[in-house]
Chain A
Amino acid sequence: MKILETQELSKQFGGLIAVNKVSMHVKEGDIVGLIGPNGAGKTTFLNAVAGLNPPTGGRVLFLGEDTTGFTPEKMCHRGLSRSFQIPRPYPKMTALETVLTSAIFGNRLRKVKDPVAHSRKMLSFVEFPMAEETITESLNTLQLKRLDLARALASNPRLLFLDELAAGLTEGELGDIMTLIRKIRDQGITILMVEHIMQLIMSVCERLVCIQFGNKIAEGPTEEVARDPTVTEAYLGRQKKKECSPDTHAGAQVG
């Protein structure tokens, strides 16, 4: 079943077309990677679907319903959650309160009985390393990312957007994150993740969607997309393109 589908989704900022008619879909239970070079429009795409920055064209279908232009709170109640690329906590709240907001207000349609216990469960699920009374202001970026993930999970989403969760992690931490992402999926949560770290993408994503300058340039099984010459070209840039051009042409002729 397609849990999410976008049809020619576009987002324009004044003269800049940040997302240009992107059609894609995510199947229930999948871990899908959204990749593309810096400034490709990945975050903008997530925002357009989640309602933080409503799309200027196209349609969003979430769980079979046309949710184009829905507010973020409405999308959250429908079962869409997201973590932020730059984690945005509530500076003066404690870690527990931060998660509580989502546990209490994100579950409007499917109330949790004991939000405090639920929030504690989320904090331990993401292995949040600090005490629950820690004020979020005093956390570092990695701790904030875990906290933000716990917050996103506390609303019991059906679909979870992860925006560069692993950015800035060390090799060892990367392994933890891989396990964590799989653990989330095993809870029955579908994942669409924006990521730059190839190692992580290759090991957890089943499918990939690649965008460049707001346009979708590839979509399909991970191995296939990763081998796609247009994708490697997009990542390696122009200079490499010239050097590689004989190969690419050869490849194209063969294919």
Chain B
Amino acid sequence: MQTTKAKSELNLFDRVLDLLSLKPLGAIGLVILVILPLVPPFNQEYLIRWLCAAALIAAASVSFDFTAGFINIVNFGYYAIVGLGGYTSAILVDRFGISPWIGIFVGALSAGLLGFFLGIVTLRLRGIFAAVMAWFMGLALMGLATKAVWLTRGSLGLRVERLFDSPSNLPYYYVILAMMLVTYVITKGVTRSDMGLAFKAIGQNMDAARTSGINPVYYRIVNFTLSCTLAGLLGGFYAHYYGILTPEMMHTSKTVEVLAVAYIGGRGSLWGGAVVAFPFIYAMEMVRSSLSNLPGLNLILYGLLLILVMIYYSGGFAAFFQQHFSKPKNIILYYLVNGKKTA
């Protein structure tokens, strides 16, 4: 009662922000991301390409964190599910000539269906065993993509119709940015509801959660299904952006990259990974382009950073921010960081 009353007193801008689970600072960040590829030096095509890669990893880390940071299961098969969404869409578009937009949608649904089954298969398994199960499933999917040459052209790579005719990266960037926002708004909205509490409870203590009346079966399946659907959506973008799919894109190392970004950003925060993804992918791309003859270097860097974060700041960037910047004295700054109080 009180909260609804308080909400109706907010102005339209704050209401919209609340609906999107964004703080004013987050909204400003988004506006910057929208403008960034229009201003020099960021308006060069190869830099917009980096921005696309960053937004993709950012979105992936949000939906990855929705599972890892809440129900505490690390989905090591995450990028294989991204691949499933991509391949499904690419093959449908190629064979049946449907629009890539519909292909992406169907690809997301197929990934969601797999997530649903993954949720069921791993039901009786706790933490690490569920993670291993998801990992094996990912490896199996990658094996399938390699061996089913008649369908996927295996490691030769599958050519995929691109979303737009123009060679410019800019429209793609706005598509993936929108997908990132959608991913965030959906996952954050769900975790702000009672369901988020149930996710956290089964993730942090299964026995206490069950004796408190929480049915882990239901919540785990819902979580997996949603997280994988979003992964499939991103896979569709990947396919129709890069224009080529190879089984290597489903490799575990891609999942590890997402995991690193999500954990460095802050487990269970959802937004942390999305924020750190941009500077990170930029830095990594820079390292990659200047030291192109050292494959796997970015993974080593990720590993080192991850270890440092786990040792010194296990809550990641989000916890660091929360601790040092969430209560500024200045009223305007306070508003930017915390938004209008709704309760």
Contact = CB atoms under 8 A, between A and B. Distances in A.
A151 B200 contact: no
A149 B221 CA distance: 30
Contacts of A52: 207, 210-211
A228 B207 CA distance: 36
The dominant DSSP class at the B interface is helix
Interface stretch (A92-100, A217-225, A234-242): A92-100
A84 B210 CA distance: 13
B210 A72 contact: yes
Contacts of A102: 212-213
Given A72-B207, A88-B208, A77 B213 contact: yes
Interface in B215-230: 215-216
B215 A73 contact: yes
Interface string A72-86: 110111000110100
B208 A151 contact: yes
A88 B205 CA distance: 7
Nearest to A103: B212
A108 interface: yes
Interface in B182-237: 194, 197-198, 200-201, 204-205, 207-216
A23 interface: no
B211 A101 contact: no
A155 B208 contact: no
B268 interface: yes
Contacts of B215: 71, 73
Contacts of B214: 73, 101, 105
A106 interface: yes
A106 B204 contact: no
A108 B268 CA distance: 26
Nearest to B208: A88
Contact of B207 (A88, A106, A107, A108): A88
B210 A101 contact: no
Nearest to B212: A102
A89 B205 contact: yes
| Residue among A52, A81, A92, A100 with most chain B CB within 10 A | A92
Given A84-B208, A151-B208, A92 B200 contact: yes
A91 interface: yes
Contacts of A191: none
A177 interface: no
A90 B201 contact: yes
| Residue among B205, B209, B212 with most chain A CB within 10 A | B212
Nearest to A90: B204
B213 A107 contact: yes
Nearest to B197: A101
Contact of B213 (A90, A91, A106): A106
A192 B256 CA distance: 48
A107 B212 CA distance: 9
A83 to B, nearest CB: 9
Contacts, number: 78
Interface string A45-84: 0000011100000000000000000011101110001101
Interface residues on A, range: 20 to 34
Nearest to A102: B212
Nearest to B198: A105
A147 B101 CA distance: 51
B197 A104 contact: yes
Contacts of A73: 210-216
Interface string A29-49: 000000000000000000000
A71 B197 contact: no
Given A97-B197, A100-B197, A104-B197, A90 B208 contact: yes
A72 B207 CA distance: 8
A57 to B, nearest CB: 22
Contacts of A106: 212-213
Contacts of A75: 211
Given A90-B200, A92-B268, A101 B212 contact: yes
Contacts of A155: 212-213
Contact of B194 (A72, A77, A93, A104): A104
Contacts of B268: 92
A195 to B, nearest CB: 19
Contacts of B205: 88-91
B211 A92 contact: no
A82 B213 CA distance: 11
A101 B205 CA distance: 12
Interface in B282-312: none
A108 B213 CA distance: 8
A82 B212 CA distance: 9
Contact of A93 (B204, B207, B210): B204
B208 A89 contact: yes
Contacts of B208: 84, 88-90, 101, 148, 151
Nearest to B215: A73
7 contacts: A76-B211, A90-B205, A90-B209, A101-B197, A102-B213, A104-B197, A106-B213
Given A51-B210, A92-B200, A105-B212, 12 more contacts: A71-B215, A73-B211, A73-B214, A76-B213, A89-B208, A90-B209, A91-B204, A92-B268, A93-B200, A105-B201, A105-B213, A105-B214
Report the 9 A-B pairs with minimum CB-CB distance, sorted nearest first.
A106-B213, A90-B204, A102-B212, A76-B213, A72-B210, A105-B213, A105-B214, A101-B201, A72-B211
Interface of A: 50-52, 71-73, 75-77, 81-82, 84, 88-93, 97, 100-102, 104-108, 148, 151-152, 154-155
